Amino acid sequence: MRNNASRDEYVPQHSSRYETKGTSSRGLVDARIRVTKIAAIGMLTLAVIILGITAKTYASERMAHSDASTVQMQNEKVSKSKASADLKTRLSKADFNDIPSGDAVQTFSLVDNKTPTLEDESLALLQDALSRAQELGDVGVVFYDLSSGKGVTYNPDVEVYGASSYKALYALYICESLVETGQVSLDDSLGTYGGYNMGWQTVRDLIDAAVVNSDNDSFIALRAAFDRVSYEDWIASLGIDYDTALDPMSDFPTYCPRTSAKLWREMSEYLSRDSETSQWLSGLLTSTTRSFIRDGIADDHALVRNKAGWISEAGCNATCDAGLIDVDGDIYIMSIMTSMPWSDRSSELVTVIAKTFFDTRAALA
């Protein structure tokens, strides 16, 4: 027999049994928590990876869409730029002989066959204004949009004594052909020319007086000084008829609205230069003391650069005006030449003609 002590020696302790063969209930709970945490971390990591892939894919798609939109916008801009450049090229080569002749109101296009159409009301207003003026003399008009090349005309080849309307165009010759090339300085002084004592005034002062105040003596002094320099070459380069611009019998040539429009297109191109002289001349043209066009359109949003001519004298009657009309960046050329003797009545009629033609501009876009 074994005694109790011997028996107790062989009874294993509770704790020893679980340490050698298993885990306690608390340890099992801890293990389960650890497994749960590991699973949660794994799921979170997977979610982050999936979210990252999704975000990257969305960003890529968005970037691709953005890039496509940008490319499309750039292509549209290039297309518009090319179209604008192409139109400008065609306008620069436009033949003013394409302006239709005849004593009827007609529309035209200098760049294609898509001539604009005027509403019956506009035609009636134009005919009425022209008919009233023709009671006092011949009338010719050219009005067109420099951006589209489309316009309206009436009797563009009527030859009219241009009077002072040519002074701005001669100033264009001096500035563009002589001053810009360094042959003449605006600060050069002129003395006595053609019997007119100018008191050694500068070229600048003479052009200012001729254009702004329509001073005849200043204009004649300029012609006497510069006609023989390179005037004929300049006229030839623009395709202007010598007989029109080089009338040997007069400092004030007789010419027509078609020629006037062609010269004012050259004026527009010159004034678009960013030179000190071109901007100075532009300022003079906005400051002319008389403008039937400016009075006629009476538009606060329009900038008118013009030169009018007027005289009431047997053999050389005239009430004329021509120039550029800038409305929010859209530029129009208008030339109105009439043989009406200058008076308040003829001034009023040219003003009405300017307004009625200007009001057709929406159809010329």
Three-state secondary structure of the chain:
CCCHHHHHHHCCCHHHHHHHHCCCHHHHHHHHHHHHHHHHHHHHHHHHHHHHHHHHHHHHHHHHHHHHHHHHHHHHHHHHHHHHHHHHHHHHCCCHHHCCCCCCCEEEECCCCCCCCCCHHHHHHHHHHHHHHHCCCCEEEEEEECCCCEEEEECCCCCEECHHHHHHHHHHHHHHHHHCCCCCCCCCEEEEECCEEEEEEEHHHHHHHHHHCCCHHHHHHHHHHHHHHHHHHHHHHCCCCHHHHCCCCCCCCEECHHHHHHHHHHHHHHHCCCCHHHHHHHHHHCCCCCCHHHHHHCCCCEEEEEEEEEECCCCCCEEEEEEEEEECCEEEEEEEEECCCCCHHHHHHHHHHHHHHHCCHHHHC
**Residue 248's pLDDT band (cuts 50, 70, 90):** low
pLDDT (tens digit, 9 = 90+) per residue, 281-323? Answer: 999 999 999 999 999 998 878 999 999 999 999 889 999 999 9
Model pLDDT, residue 36? 45
> Which token pair is 310?
């007027």
CA 207 to chain centre: 27
What is the average pLDDT score of the chain? 80
pLDDT (tens digit, 9 = 90+) per residue, 64-79? Answer: 344 444 434 433 433 3
Q: What is the model's pTM? A: 0.75
Model pLDDT, residue 92? 54
pLDDT (tens digit, 9 = 90+) per residue, 27-75? Answer: 434 434 443 444 444 444 444 444 344 444 444 444 434 444 443 443 3
Model pLDDT, residue 2? 35
